[in-house]
């Protein structure tokens, strides 16, 4: 049946499952157009459609979403291709969407870039050129189709999506529908899995669409992937608490697809990438993203608890279980309850994002090199991300200082509580501050650190921890006190220079603080190599920002974390006191 259906479908792409709704019945499938013409039929293809429909006991209809304009589909039918006829395929409902083909999209981007990159353009010419390009109109139609698919799955129906060949518009709509429905697809791990499945494994022609080789046909080039990323950017902009990553990740993926510095987006299919031995001869962009995760994170992300979709491997602590980090969802099944009585871990994005008034130019991509234009929204996100990491380092630094104070009190024969209790009282008062609440709410990493630094029932007292550690030397104390900056240079004014290279921060793509000296530096003068800083309580290597001067300081390079010190010349390194076996926690 599947072989016959493949022969009846363009490029042999017969209907396959790409996503199963958590209710266990609603299926999202994708394929290419049928080679039906005006009279051709395939009994096996009809049986496959009926099998997909019958697999869902909650619905009597199978929705077929043809992403092409009806006129284009009818033209293809005259060429021996076409679409599913409702008189032949029983129990289906077909819906067309006016998503244009690769040639129209390519022309649209050319017109958009011509308008966006003109420095001396008038307001009338800009608005008129933006309208004539049709770029924003294309984005809305794609999102409209994705919301239609998500809504049908929401109602308990199965949906099949196809365009002409099934690797451009189909990938866009299926990917966005899953992002709209599934909170897991809005995380780093989920978005990576989504692109690997819908774009790489299903064979989007990256080499042809991005013109990566000199032999690429210019007529095959089209910014389909850029269009998809722009749609995700639109969702990120108006649903900021729903996405774990920021728009910087989307810009990075766009650059990786066109620059081909990484082998992730090289080739037009999995077979071609295997033949080219891409995994053996090139690096993956996902490794870079994992390394720069702190930089690419969204500080507004509302981290949810209790969702079975989270990937335990992506969590920062090995003792954390997946059940601890599952988003609270809303029920999308028709009955209101799942068989086990729990709510479905699905959280559908609101439909107000389809409002025409909300669509605007992606300045972060198309105007990012225009330094004369202010980037107030980006500056807000960067500042909050920088502040979040700073609070994380200060909380960990405070915990280490509390233990060191307890050690000194033991040596002097004084009570620890006379010094520690006032500090903890101040910390508990400051934890009610809005920035701290935002930081504590959003990240499992920070929540774990916070539990180690406050009066949690499972929290080990400073006195107990101080007894577990050897006496620190004066040099070790000096290194720990100077390894974390407690005062930062303000970056409210962008007319100050970078403390390393001297370039104006207003001209830089990103501005961050060095966590050791506290000065503001540009993104080119900072290193983010994960390491265990000696002034932190946490033993986990964390990619804090360090300027080039601090990262190359010989004194800092020789410094060791307290777990790397020795009790004596012949003894083993000091285990972390919160771990019984001495391993990392």
Contact 83, 77 (CB under 8 A): yes
Other beta carbons within 10 angstroms of residue 385's beta carbon come to 21
Q: Among the options 29, 42, 163, 251, which is catalytic?
A: 163
Report residue 365: phi and psi, to 5°: -110, -55
Number of H helices, E strands in the chain: 24, 9
Q: 165: annotated binding-site residue?
A: yes
Place of tokens 């992403």: 67
CA-nearest of 367, 578, 369, 545 to 464 is 578
**Token duo for residue 206:** 């990256």
230 is in an annotated binding site: no
Query: 551: annotated binding-site residue?
Result: no
Rounded to whole angstroms, how far apart are CA atoms 32 and 81? Answer: 10
Residue 362 among known ligand-binding residues: no
d(CA 177, CA 129): 30
CA angle 246, 252, 258 (to 5 degrees): 145
Name residues whose C-beta falls within 8 Å of residue 574's C-beta, 6 or more positions apart in sequence. Answer: 469, 470, 562, 563, 564, 565, 566, 567
Check the annotation: does 169 bind a ligand: yes
- Residue 194: other Cβ atoms inside 10 A: 22
Residue 213 dihedral angles phi and psi, to the nearest 5°: -125, 160
Q: Please check whether residue 528 is in contact with residue 544, taking contact to mean a CB–CB distance below 8 angstroms.
A: yes
Q: Which residue has the tokens 């077909």?
A: 94
Distance (Å, rounded) from C-alpha 283 to C-alpha 286?
9
Question: Which own/partner contact pairs does 270-275 have at CB distance under 8 Å and 24+ positions apart?
Answer: 270/200, 270/201, 270/203, 272/207, 273/200
In sequence order, the β-bridge partners of residue 520 are: 513
Q: Is 525 annotated as a binding residue?
A: no
In the 8-state DSSP scheme, what is residue 337?
A: S
Q: Is 94 annotated for ligand binding?
A: no
- The CA distance from 25 to 62, in Å, is 12
| Bridge partners for 92 per DSSP | 62
Question: Residue 106, annotated ligand binder?
Answer: no
167 is annotated as contributing to ligand binding: yes
532 has catalytic annotation: no
Going by the annotation, the residues of the binding site are 101-102, 163-169
State the catalytic residues.
Answer: 163
Instruction: Could you list the residues known to form a binding site for substrate, using ranges.
Output: 101-102, 163-169
């Amino acid at each position: 049946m599947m072989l016959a259906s493949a022969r009846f479908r363009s490029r042999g792409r017969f209907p396959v499952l790409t996503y199963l709704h958590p209710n266990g019945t609603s299926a999202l499938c994708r394929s290419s157009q049928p080679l039906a013409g005006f009279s051709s039929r395939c009994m096996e293809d009809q049986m496959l459609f009926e099998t997909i429909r019958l697999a869902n006991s909650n619905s009597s209809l199978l929705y077929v979403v043809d992403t092409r304009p009806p006129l284009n589909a009818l033209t293809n039918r005259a060429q021996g291709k076409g679409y599913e006829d409702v008189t032949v395929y029983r129990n289906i409902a077909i819906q067309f969407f006016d998503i244009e083909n690769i040639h129209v999209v390519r022309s649209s981007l050319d017109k958009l870039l011509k308008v966006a990159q003109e420095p001396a353009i008038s307001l009338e010419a800009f608005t008129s050129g933006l309208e004539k390009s049709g770029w924003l109109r294309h984005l809305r139609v794609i999102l409209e189709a994705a919301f239609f698919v998500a809504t049908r799955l929401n109602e308990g129906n199965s949906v099949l999506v196809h365009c002409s060949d099934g690797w451009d518009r189909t990938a866009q709509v299926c990917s966005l529908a899953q992002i709209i429905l599934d909170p897991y697809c809005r995380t780093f791990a989920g978005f990576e899995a989504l692109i690997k499945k819908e774009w790489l494994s299903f064979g989007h022609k990256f080499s042809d669409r991005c013109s990566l080789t000199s032999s690429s046909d210019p007529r095959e080039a089209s910014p389909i992937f850029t269009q998809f990323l722009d749609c995700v950017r639109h969702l990120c902009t108006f649903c900021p608490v729903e996405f774990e990553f920021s728009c910087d990740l989307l810009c990075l993926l766009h650059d990786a697809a066109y620059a081909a510095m990484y082998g992730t987006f090289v080739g037009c299919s999995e077979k071609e990438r295997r033949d080219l031995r891409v995994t053996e001869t090139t690096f993956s962009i996902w490794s870079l993203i994992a390394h720069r995760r702190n930089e690419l994170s969204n500080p507004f992300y509302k981290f949810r608890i209790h969702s079975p979709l989270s990937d335990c491997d992506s969590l920062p602590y090995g003792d954390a279980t997946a059940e601890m980090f599952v988003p609270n969802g809303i029920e999308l099944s028709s009955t209101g309850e799942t068989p086990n009585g729990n709510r479905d871990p699905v959280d559908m994005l609101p439909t107000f994002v389809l409002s025409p008034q909300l669509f605007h130019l992606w300045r972060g991509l198309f105007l990012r090199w225009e330094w004369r234009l202010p980037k107030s929204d980006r500056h807000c996100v960067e500042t909050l991300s920088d502040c979040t990491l700073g609070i994380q380092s200060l909380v960990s630094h405070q915990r280490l200082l509390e233990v060191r104070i307890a050690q000194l009190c033991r040596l002097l024969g004084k009570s620890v509580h006379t010094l520690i209790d006032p500090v903890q009282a101040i910390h508990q008062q400051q934890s009610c501050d809005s920035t701290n609440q935002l930081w504590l709410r959003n990240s499992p990493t920070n929540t774990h650190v916070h539990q180690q630094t406050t009066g949690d029932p499972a929290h080990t007292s400073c006195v107990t921890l101080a007894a577990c550690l050897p006496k620190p030397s004066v040099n070790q104390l000096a290194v720990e006190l100077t390894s974390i900056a407690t005062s930062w240079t303000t970056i409210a004014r962008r007319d100050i220079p970078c403390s390393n290279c001297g370039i104006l921060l207003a001209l830089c793509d990103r501005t961050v603080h060095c966590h050791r000296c506290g000065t503001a530096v540009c993104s080119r003068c900072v290193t983010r190599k994960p390491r265990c800083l000696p002034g932190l309580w946490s033993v986990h290597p964390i990619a804090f920002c360090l300027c080039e001067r601090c990262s190359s300081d010989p004194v800092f390079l020789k410094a060791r974390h307290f777990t790397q010190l020795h009790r004596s010349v012949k003894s083993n390194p000091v285990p972390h006191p919160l771990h019984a076996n001495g391993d990392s926690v």
